[in-house]
């Protein structure tokens, strides 16, 4: 795809639009069973009403976007391309993600800055993920690099992600993790995995179907991201249960199409091994 075509698709560069400031350190949320914080409930009702008043009919048709009911991915495929490499977008040899995996497309800022062919979809978040994986600068081969992470067959945790409807260039997103034994138990004591510090990633992605916009494979372009750590070593009170949950608004990248947005999230241990992942799917509202 040439640069003019990309600019029609993504008219503004997001290379200088980092993730929201102050979103890196996420506290552990501990709540008593069945307790819903009043201000959170009020804000949720307000945002829902505001979305209903401001959004077009096509957007309102999508009433529920979450990972509920979907099989957990067994692999995470992260495809990195340099914004300098125009041919990388339409490369026929691009690895297609297997059916039981989720693919993420990161576009690294190029040496040409805003003049790079793919600068419109490049982001600093891609650079942050590259560094988090500990990849050297010379890992890119002809402007491309693919990193795959196999998830454990019997994951110690389950991950749930969800998002709402966009309002004023922001969209509400959330991620939650539970120990598998806890999720399967009926209120009994859970045999949770060994306590540890875990990193969590939540991405706002834009889905581009295969065969459109010049790409030979389906892509999930990372448009914004949040990263944090959940401390799973704290002691709980007798009337508390562990709940690792975060809800945050994410800013829409310039040029992103709201109808193509979704979220992908995963939990990884201190070594960087991905333990569990999830992706959202939108369900149409029933009349």
Residues written for the chain: 287
Determine how many CB atoms are found less than 10 A away from the CB of residue 257: 12
Cα dihedral: 245, 266, 250, 172 (round 10): -50
**pLDDT score, position 190:** 46
Contact 152, 159 (CB under 8 A): no
Name the residue among 112, 48, 47 with its Cα closest to residue 83.
112
User: What CATH code is carried by the domain that includes residue 277?
Assistant: 2.60.40.10
**Distance, CA of 252 to CA of 166 (rounded, Å):** 8
**pLDDT score, position 195:** 55
Contact 4, 234 (CB under 8 A): no
Overall number of domains in the chain: 1
Alpha-helical segments (H) within 142-258? 180-184
* 183, 250, 253, 254, 279 from 17: Cα distances, Å: 37, 12, 7, 9, 23
Structural domain for 68, as ranges = 3-15+23-284
Instruction: Give the predicted TM-score (pTM) of the model.
Output: 0.75
Determine how many CB atoms are found less than 10 A away from the CB of residue 285: 10
**Distance, CA of 70 to CA of 47 (rounded, Å):** 26
N- to C-terminal Cα separation, the chain: 40
**Distance, CA of 178 to CA of 142 (rounded, Å):** 40
**Distance, CA of 213 to CA of 219 (rounded, Å):** 10
127: part of which helix (H) or strand (E)?
Answer: helix 124-132
| Ramachandran sector of residue 271 (left: φ over 0; alpha: ψ -120 to 50; beta: rest) | alpha
**pLDDT score, position 243:** 66
**pLDDT score, position 239:** 57
**pLDDT score, position 279:** 96
**pLDDT score, position 197:** 80
Output b/e per residue, 229-252; b: 16+ Cβ within 10 A: ebebeeeeeeeeebbbbbbbbbbb
Contact 11, 254 (CB under 8 A): yes
**pLDDT score, position 137:** 84
Output the tens digit of pLDDT for each of the chain's 287 residues: 544 344 434 444 334 333 333 333 343 333 333 323 344 433 543 444 344 334 444 444 556 799 999 999 999 999 999 999 999 999 999 988 888 999 999 999 999 999 999 999 999 999 999 999 999 988 999 999 999 999 998 888 899 999 999 999 999 999 999 888 755 544 444 455 555 788 999 999 999 999 999 999 999 999 999 998 887 655 555 655 566 899 999 999 999 999 999 999 999 998 999 999 999 998 765 55
């Amino acid at each position: 795809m040439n640069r003019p075509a990309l600019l029609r698709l993504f008219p503004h560069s997001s290379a200088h639009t980092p993730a929201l400031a102050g979103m890196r350190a996420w506290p552990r949320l501990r709540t008593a069973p069945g307790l819903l914080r009043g201000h959170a409930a009020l804000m949720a009702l307000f945002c829902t009403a505001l979305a209903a008043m401001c959004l077009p009919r096509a957007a309102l048709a999508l009433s529920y976007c979450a990972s509920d009911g979907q099989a957990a991915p067994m692999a995470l495929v992260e495809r990195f391309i340099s914004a300098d490499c125009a041919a990388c977008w339409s490369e026929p040899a691009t690895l297609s993600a297997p059916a039981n995996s989720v693919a993420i497309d990161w576009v690294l800022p190029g040496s040409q800055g805003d003049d790079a062919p793919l600068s419109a979809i490049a982001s600093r978040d891609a650079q942050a993920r590259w560094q988090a994986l500990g990849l050297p600068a010379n890992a890119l081969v002809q402007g491309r690099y693919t990193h795959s992470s196999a998830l454990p067959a019997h994951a110690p945790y389950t991950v749930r992600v969800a998002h709402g409807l966009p309002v004023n260039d922001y969209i509400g997103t959330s991620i939650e993790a539970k120990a598998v034994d806890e999720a399967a138990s009926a209120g009994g004591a859970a045999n949770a995995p060994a306590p540890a510090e875990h990193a969590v990633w939540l991405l706002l992605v834009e889905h581009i179907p295969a065969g459109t916009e010049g790409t030979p494979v389906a892509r999930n372009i990372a448009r914004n991201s949040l990263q944090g750590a959940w401390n799973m070593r704290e002691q709980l009170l007798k009337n508390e249960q562990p709940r690792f949950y975060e809800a945050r608004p994410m800013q829409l990248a310039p040029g992103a199409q709201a109808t193509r947005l979704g979220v992908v999230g995963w939990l990884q241990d201190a070594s960087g091994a991905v333990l569990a992942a999830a992706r959202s799917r939108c369900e149409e509202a029933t009349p």
